[in-house]
């Protein structure tokens, strides 16, 4: 086996795939990239058994072959090269020789047959989504997913596809995000829970790419195809909680405020909050919003006032400032609306501008009990 490849092209592909590889693997073979030569096409694959990611690159080659090469060593070496053609040559010493402009390097390989095969997604339904919509949906929801190993269904993002719209939901029981696209639909109704890791990979890779993503899915696995890349992952098994039940329908108290002013104010005031609860207090009366925090242990306190448009009864409500900051940060708008009913009911954040036609986003944040 012999092939010639651009060092920069190879590094770009391997760095994209490298996010799949865990720092500690149960199987040593998973510390490697699989190289498969077929004609002038080099297929590169990385896997952690749950997620398998592969992409194709055009090379000049002689002979077909499959072998696995150490991931960390390859990436660390390629990072140091200026752009140049690299020749990979399989030797009789069970090594692959990498020949560069001014040096050669021998790397031990593992036969490609030992590398685990990607799961085949059989009897799959299929939906096509543009990369920008999928990237926005992941960016808008992923931060709200949980980290509780005891509740794995909440550690991913819930994909809810129907013939009318696509909905993406994430929650950790303290905050919830529901992102809906009414301008895209699926051929049939389907629901599945995507794990966090493949979504983090997709979020980074799809940024700046303008292509369609084909999603194939059955009850156990999902497959994402875009360009020359294919990502296969195992779905989270279980039933997602009924999130609609926790979204309050009647919210007579509504505040409209500049998002950045509100975000910066919450950030400053939260510095003075209790380091365990991160509790801040919102006091709404007339056209005035008072944001305050107090740390009784250290006698620290802060208070700020903002102008807002408030419709409803005077209200005091407490929130965890970290959740509020995360949610305000995830939005890309200038004005937001915070809808509330009672101090012990969830508040709903919605953007008032900056959304596309057919795009709908609702963020829910649970209140905290105020220490009076």
**165 plus 266 within the same structural domain:** no
Examine residue 58 and state whether it is found in any structural domain, yes or no.
yes
Residue with tokens 């508040």: 347
Last residue of a domain, one of 70, 95, 114: 114
Q: Whole-model pTM?
A: 0.93
The confidence score (pLDDT) of residue 172 equals 95
Determine the straight-line distance between the first and last CA of the chain, rounded to whole angstroms.
74
- Give the count of domains, the chain: 3
Residues 188 and 299 in one domain: no
Establish if 40 belongs to a structural domain: yes
Burial class (CB in 10 A: 0-12, 13-18, 19+), 172: middle
Query: CB count, 10 Å around CB of 147?
Result: 9
The CATH number for 55's domain is 3.10.150.10
Between the CA of residue 260 and those of 117, 264, 286, 330, what are the distances in Å?
A: 48, 6, 21, 12
**pLDDT tens digits along 79-124:** 999 999 999 999 998 999 999 999 999 999 999 999 999 999 999 9
Angle at 311 between CA 306 and CA 313, to 5 degrees: 100
- Dihedral sign from CA coordinates of 261, 265, 266, 271: positive
Residue 119 lies in a domain: no
Do residues 227 and 269 share a domain?
A: no
Q: What is the pLDDT of residue 372?
A: 64
On whether both 133 and 224 belong to a single domain, the answer is: yes
Contact 22, 30 (CB under 8 A): yes
Pair 231, 256 in one domain: no
229 with 286, same domain: the answer is no
Rounded mean pLDDT of 330-342? 96
Mean predicted confidence (pLDDT) in 56-60: 96
Average pLDDT over all residues of the chain: 95
- Is-contact 323 338, C-beta < 8 A? no
- Containing domain of residue 266, as a range? 247-368
Strand pairing class (2-6; 359-365) = unpaired
């Amino acid at each position: 086996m012999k092939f010639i490849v651009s060092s920069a092209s190879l590094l770009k592909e391997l760095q994209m795939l490298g996010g799949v590889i865990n720092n500690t693997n149960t199987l040593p073979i998973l510390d490697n990239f699989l190289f498969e030569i077929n004609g002038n096409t080099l297929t590169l694959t990385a896997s952690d058994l749950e997620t398998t990611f592969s992409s194709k690159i055009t090379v000049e080659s002689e002979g077909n072959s499959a072998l696995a090469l150490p991931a960390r060593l390859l990436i660390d070496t390629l990072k140091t090269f200026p752009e140049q053609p690299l020749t990979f040559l399989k030797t009789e010493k069970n090594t692959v020789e990498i020949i560069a402009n001014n040096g050669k390097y021998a790397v031990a390989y593992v036969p490609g047959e030992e590398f685990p095969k990607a799961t085949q997604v059989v009897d799959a339904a299929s939906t096509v989504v543009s990369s920008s919509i999928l990237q926005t949906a992941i960016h808008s929801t992923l931060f709200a997913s949980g980290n509780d190993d005891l509740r794995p269904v909440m550690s991913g993002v819930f994909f809810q596809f129907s013939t009318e719209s696509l909905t993406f939901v994430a929650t950790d029981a303290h905050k919830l995000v529901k992102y809906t696209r009414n301008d895209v639909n699926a051929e049939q109704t389907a629901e599945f829970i995507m794990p966090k890791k493949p979504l983090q990979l997709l979020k980074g890779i799809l940024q700046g790419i303008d292509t369609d993503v084909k999603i194939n899915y059955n009850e156990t696995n999902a497959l994402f195809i875009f360009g020359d890349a294919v990502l296969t992952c195992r779905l989270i098994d279980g039933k997602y909680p009924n999130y609609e039940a926790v979204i309050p329908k009647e919210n007579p108290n509504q505040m409209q405020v500049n998002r950045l002013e509100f975000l910066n104010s919450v950030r400053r005031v939260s510095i003075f909050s209790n380091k365990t609860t991160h509790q801040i207090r919102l006091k709404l009366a007339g056209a005035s919003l008072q944001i305050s925090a107090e740390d009784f242990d250290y006698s620290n306190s802060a208070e700020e006032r903002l102008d807002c448009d408030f419709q409803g009864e005077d209200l005091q409500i407490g929130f965890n400032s970290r959740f509020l900051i995360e949610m305000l940060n995830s939005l890309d708008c200038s004005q937001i609306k915070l809808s509330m009913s009672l101090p012990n009911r969830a508040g709903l954040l919605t953007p008032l501008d900056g959304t596309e036609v057919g795009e709908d986003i609702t963020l829910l944040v649970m209140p905290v009990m105020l220490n009076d």
